[in-house]
């Protein structure tokens, strides 16, 4: 009988999840039986799963989302949006552990971001062999230069800025694009640079509404009658205020977002013409672009290699074109944030881009 390995996708959906699952399955199916849990850790908890093979996974290899389904809440919410750790109740962990043992799993591969990997650490502390693969459009996982899904999100945001810029020029208007990223500004900074934004607002640099107004007025003085602004959903003003939107339905909670509308309202109150577009879940949907496909394939194959070598308790990392590992506990110790004094910010400011500070 073949040895068994489990795999699941936790947290929000992300381009490249199916690609990782496919390359992982193809790499191991001759030696192992691959069990794909449904809806992330909830599938492990409920013992809900499918047996995976390359004939199945190949159908979805470059599709967006995850055919195994996922949830970003449920029994295994190990971190809040602000990064504070929550302990998963022991009886829930015990149930998951019993199912893991009853299925005779040798290891569990977790495709997830900061929250899912934190939950994986708690399972690891209770005896499960875990391998983490960093998934996040936010690119905020410590230890890896890149998470799969990030570059696709940046590409989508950049294309949105290209389109908004034509309207900004045509109407001599201020166009604001609000992007995702939670408490990190990687999508905002990268897409802002690639999309030609004049003002970039990110969580790592607190902004002043009056500084935004000043930057726009300076452009008017130079004969530049349109302005393109990109703002990360977690951007914070100098009074330490973040913006939240109430989400109904099952979650019925307040989530980061709405700062772009607040900035637009402020500028309109100063008799300027500003409009905001919130890109939202469009950044997370759809097929991965080529670079993300390559990264996902490599990470899936590398995770399979770690399984074969029985190297557990680590995160797959990508740095400088090379794949390596980092202890999983180190990867969830904090979020990877932008250095306000780093090269990208410094270069942006030299080019005349304002960060509202």
CATH code (residue 247): 3.40.50.460
Write down the mean pLDDT value for the chain: 94
Q: Is residue 353 included in any domain, yes or no?
A: no
- Reported as a single tens digit per residue, the pLDDT across 190-224 is 999 999 999 999 999 999 999 999 999 999 999 99
* Same-domain status, 156 and 265: yes
What CATH number corresponds to the domain at position 77?
Answer: 3.40.50.450
* Same-domain status, 39 and 61: yes
Q: How confident is the model at residue 154 (pLDDT cuts 50, 70, 90)?
A: very high
What SS3 string covers the chain? Answer: CCEEEEEEECCCCCCCHHHHHHHHHHHHCCCEEEEEECCCHHHHHHCCEEEECHHHHHHHCCCCCCCCCCCCCHHHCCECCCCCECCCCHHHHHHHHHHHHHCCEEEEEEEECHHHHHHHHHHHHCCCCEEEEEECCCCCECCCCCCECHHHHHHHHHHHHHHHHHHHHHHCCEEEEEECCCCCCHHHHHHHHHCCCCEEECCCCCECHHHHHHHHHHHHHCCCCCEEEEEECCCCECCCCCCEEEECCCCCEEEECCHHHHHHHHHHHCCCCEEEEECHHHHCCCCCCHHHHHHHHHHHHHHHHHHHCCCCCEEEEEECCEEEEEEHHHHCCCECCCCCCCHHHHHHHHCCCECCC
* Same-domain status, 155 and 170: yes
* Spatial separation of the C-alpha atoms in residues 75 and 326, rounded to whole Å: 26
Active-site amino acid positions:
138
* Same-domain status, 20 and 67: yes
* Spatial separation of the C-alpha atoms in residues 81 and 245, rounded to whole Å: 13
* Same-domain status, 254 and 207: yes
User: Under a CB-based contact definition with an 8 Å cutoff, are residues 21 and 57 in contact?
Assistant: yes
* Spatial separation of the C-alpha atoms in residues 306 and 302, rounded to whole Å: 6
pLDDT at 246: 63
Euclidean distance between the first and the last CA atom of the chain, given in angstroms as a whole number:
62
- Number of folded domains that form the chain: 2
* Spatial separation of the C-alpha atoms in residues 348 and 110, rounded to whole Å: 36
Q: Is residue 338 included in any domain, yes or no?
A: no
Q: Is residue 352 included in any domain, yes or no?
A: no
The domain in which residue 195 lies consists of 151-284
* Same-domain status, 64 and 110: yes
Q: Is residue 115 included in any domain, yes or no?
A: yes
Residue 135, beta-bridge partner list: 148
Q: Is residue 336 included in any domain, yes or no?
A: no
Q: How many CB atoms lie within 10 A of CB 167?
A: 14
Helix 150-171 to helix 186-194 angle (10° resolution) is 50
* Token couple for 156: 């989508």
Q: How confident is the model at residue 247 (pLDDT cuts 50, 70, 90)?
A: low
Q: Is residue 84 included in any domain, yes or no?
A: yes
User: Under a CB-based contact definition with an 8 Å cutoff, are residues 234 and 181 in contact?
Assistant: yes
* Same-domain status, 173 and 143: no
* Same-domain status, 117 and 12: yes
* Same-domain status, 192 and 293: no
- Reported as a single tens digit per residue, the pLDDT across 52-82 is 999 999 999 999 999 999 998 788 876 655 5
- Rounded to whole angstroms, the maximal C-alpha distance in the chain is 75
pLDDT of 45 > 90? The answer is yes
* Spatial separation of the C-alpha atoms in residues 120 and 313, rounded to whole Å: 9
What sign results for the dihedral spanned by CA atoms 29, 32, 34, 40?
negative
- Reported as a single tens digit per residue, the pLDDT across 102-140 is 999 999 999 999 999 999 999 999 999 999 999 999 999
* Same-domain status, 40 and 169: no
User: Under a CB-based contact definition with an 8 Å cutoff, are residues 150 and 325 in contact?
Assistant: no
Q: Is residue 29 included in any domain, yes or no?
A: yes
Q: How confident is the model at residue 256 (pLDDT cuts 50, 70, 90)?
A: confident
* Same-domain status, 144 and 161: no
* pTM value > 0.75: yes
């Amino acid at each position: 009988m073949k040895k068994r390995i489990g795999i699941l996708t936790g947290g929000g959906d992300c381009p490249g999840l199916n690609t990782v699952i496919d390359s992982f399955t193809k790499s191991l199916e001759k030696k192992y039986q691959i069990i794909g849990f449904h809806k992330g850790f909830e599938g492990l908890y409920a013992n809900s799963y499918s047996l995976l093979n390359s004939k199945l996974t190949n159908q979805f290899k470059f599709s967006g989302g995850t055919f195994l389904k996922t949830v970003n809440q449920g029994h295994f919410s190990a971190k809040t949006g602000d990064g504070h750790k929550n302990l998963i109740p022991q009886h829930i962990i015990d149930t998951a552990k019993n199912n893991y043992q009853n299925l005779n799993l040798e290891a569990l591969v977790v495709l997830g971001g900061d929250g899912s990997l934190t939950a994986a650490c708690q399972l690891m502390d209770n005896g499960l062999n875990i391998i983490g693969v960093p998934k996040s459009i936010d690119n905020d996982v410590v230890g890896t230069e890149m998470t799969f899904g990030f570059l696709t999100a940046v590409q989508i945001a950049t294309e949105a800025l290209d389109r908004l810029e034509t309207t900004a020029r045509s109407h001599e208007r201020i166009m604001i694009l609000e992007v995702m990223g939670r408490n990190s500004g990687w999508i905002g900074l990268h897409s802002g640079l690639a999309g030609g934004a004049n003002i970039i607002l990110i969580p790592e640099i607190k902004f002043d509404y009056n500084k935004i107004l000043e930057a726009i007025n300076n452009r008017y003085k130079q004969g530049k009658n349109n302005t393109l602004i990109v703002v990360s959903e977690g951007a914070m003003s100098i009074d330490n205020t973040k913006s939240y939107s109430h989400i109904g339905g099952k979650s019925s909670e307040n989530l980061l977002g709405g700062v772009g509308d607040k900035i637009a309202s402020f500028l309109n109150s100063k008799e300027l013409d500003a409009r905001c577009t919130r890109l939202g879940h469009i950044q997370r949907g759809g097929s991965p672009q080529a670079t993300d496909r390559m990264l996902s394939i490599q990470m899936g194959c590398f995770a399979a290699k770690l399984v074969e070598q029985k190297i557990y308790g680590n995160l797959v990392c990508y740095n400088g074109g090379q794949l390596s590992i980092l202890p999983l506990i180190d990867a969830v110790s904090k979020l990877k944030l932008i250095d306000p004094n780093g090269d990208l910010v410094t270069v942006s400011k030299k080019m005349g881009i304002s960060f509202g500070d």
